[in-house]
Structures are given as structure tokens and as C-alpha cells.
Structure 1
Amino acid sequence: MAKYLLLIYGDEQRWETMTDAERAEIDEGHRQFWGRAGSSILASGELEPTSTATTLRARPLGDDGDGPSITDGPFLESKEVLGGFYVVDVPDLDAALDLAAGLAEVTHDHSGVQVHPLVDHG
């Protein structure tokens, strides 16, 4: 078995203006995903808007402050932001791709799903 991180990306402004029907379609896709994936889901979550995010970074050279520099907002400037995730434990990449293909986000023009293998340190 192998672990994969399924990252759900999309246009945050578009997510905020989705109709109830679009939201219901995406929610139904997640219910179906849970039905198909079952116990292979190790973790999942939907993220709050990027306006609630905080980023920690090394302080710039010459900055005498203690600890990391802390700023509001996401790490990257991007049209698409990370909106949610699943961690799944499945036999192989094909199985992970098959599960990810069932998420409604892959059928919308403002979102997508990235499938990323996790390093096995075991």
C-alpha cells in the first residue's frame, strides 16, 4: 500500500460565489468519494479562506527579531489556492488517480485535484 495526498485547488473568489446547486454538486461528489474510498482515507479537511492563514518564515538577514517572521496570508500569490485535502492509503498511483477522478472539483473549470505521493520513511 502507498499513501497519497490529494490536494484540492481552486479559484477562491469563484468558490465564494458558487450557487447552492454548484455547492450541492461538489458536496455530493465528496459523499460519493467517501463511499468509494472508505477506510483508505487516513485524514481529510476543508480549509478556511486564505485570509485566515498565517505564514512563518526565516527572518531576513539583518533582522534582529527573535524566532521566525510571522505574516498574515498564504505563502504564495496564486489564482488557485489550496482549499482542502485527503490523505489516502491505496495500492498504487492508479488507485489514487481513480479515487481523485471521482471528486467534483475535477469537472469544474475553476478547480482541480493534485495527487502527490508521500515519502515512505518506514
Structure 2
Amino acid sequence: MLYAILAYHVEEEVASWTPEEDATVMRDLNKVHGRLNELGRLGPAARLGATEGACVLRGPRKGVVTDGPFTESKEQLLGFYILDCADRDAAISAARDLRQVNPSAMYEIRPVKLYLPGVPFPRTEDGVDA
């Protein structure tokens, strides 16, 4: 079964990391990504850009676009993973592996009801457009 693991963090805290601190977290997360990849369980994953560039579309018909996101928490969604796991416990275990190397993040684990892979996009790095 597919699970989405949504990574939340206090954006200001992440933005305050030095380039070296950020690189260390990403290096350690990439080790977890590598293990999940070797097991054939890691699908798409993304690190999202700053929320200052985000917007929200809601409302009837064409909807209304407003600056956003607007959430009722101090954490923001900063990235996500799609994993193929045998069950919920396996998805929780994978999220624990991610959290072990990024302990101040919160990970939400949700079953995926519909997954459409679309076309493969080129891999991107921070600051480089696809």
C-alpha cells in the first residue's frame, strides 16, 4: 500500500540553519532515502520552497487565489515522500528513520487513495528549476 509521509517543520528554524547544518541534515536524510530506494519502497519525494511563494486556491467556480498557506500550526509543510509499505506500521517505521536524522521535524503519515505517477521530471537541486 502507498503512504504519503508529509514533513512539517518550523520554517524559520530551517531557514536559520547554516549551509553546513542544512547540508548535514540533507546528507543524513539522503542516507535514509538510499536505504528506502534500495528496498524499492521510495517513490517521489520533494523538498518544497519557502511558503512566502505559496498561494491557496479555494472557493466555488474558478475560486479565489490568496497568499498562503494558512494553517493552524507553527509548522509548515516543507516536503513529502511517497512510500510503498506493507502496512501502516512499516510506514511509521520509515517515518521514524527520517525523524531520527531530523528530530525537530514532525512527520504525518497518511494512506494514499490515488496515485498517478505522471511523467518523470528531471531531478532538481535547491535553486535550480526543472
TM over 0.5: yes
Give the match for residue 75 of structure 1: 70
Give the match for residue 35 of structure 2: 36
Q: Percent identity?
A: 32
Could you give the per-residue CA deviations for residues 53-91 of structure 1, whole angstroms, max 9, x where no partner exists?
1111115xxxxxx72111112032531000000000111
Structure 1 Cα separation of the partners of residues 94 and 35 of structure 2: 7
Structure 2 Cα separation of the partners of residues 53 and 45 of structure 1: 15
Tell me the TM-score normalized by structure 2. 0.76
* Contact 1:100/1:113 (<8 A) preserved: yes
Q: How many aligned positions are there? A: 111
**Is 1:117 aligned to 2:111, yes or no?**
yes
**Is 1:94 aligned to 2:85, yes or no?**
no
Gaps of 5+ in 1: 60-65
Structure 1 Cα separation of the partners of residues 9 and 51 of structure 2: 12
Q: RMSD value over aligned CA atoms?
A: 2.0
**Which structure has the bigger radius of gyration?**
1
Give the match for residue 2 of structure 2: 3
Considering Cα pairs closer than 8 Å and 6+ residues apart, tell me whether 1 or 2 has the greater RCO: 1
Runs of 4+ in structure 1 over 4 Å off:
none
Gaps of 5+ in 2: 116-130
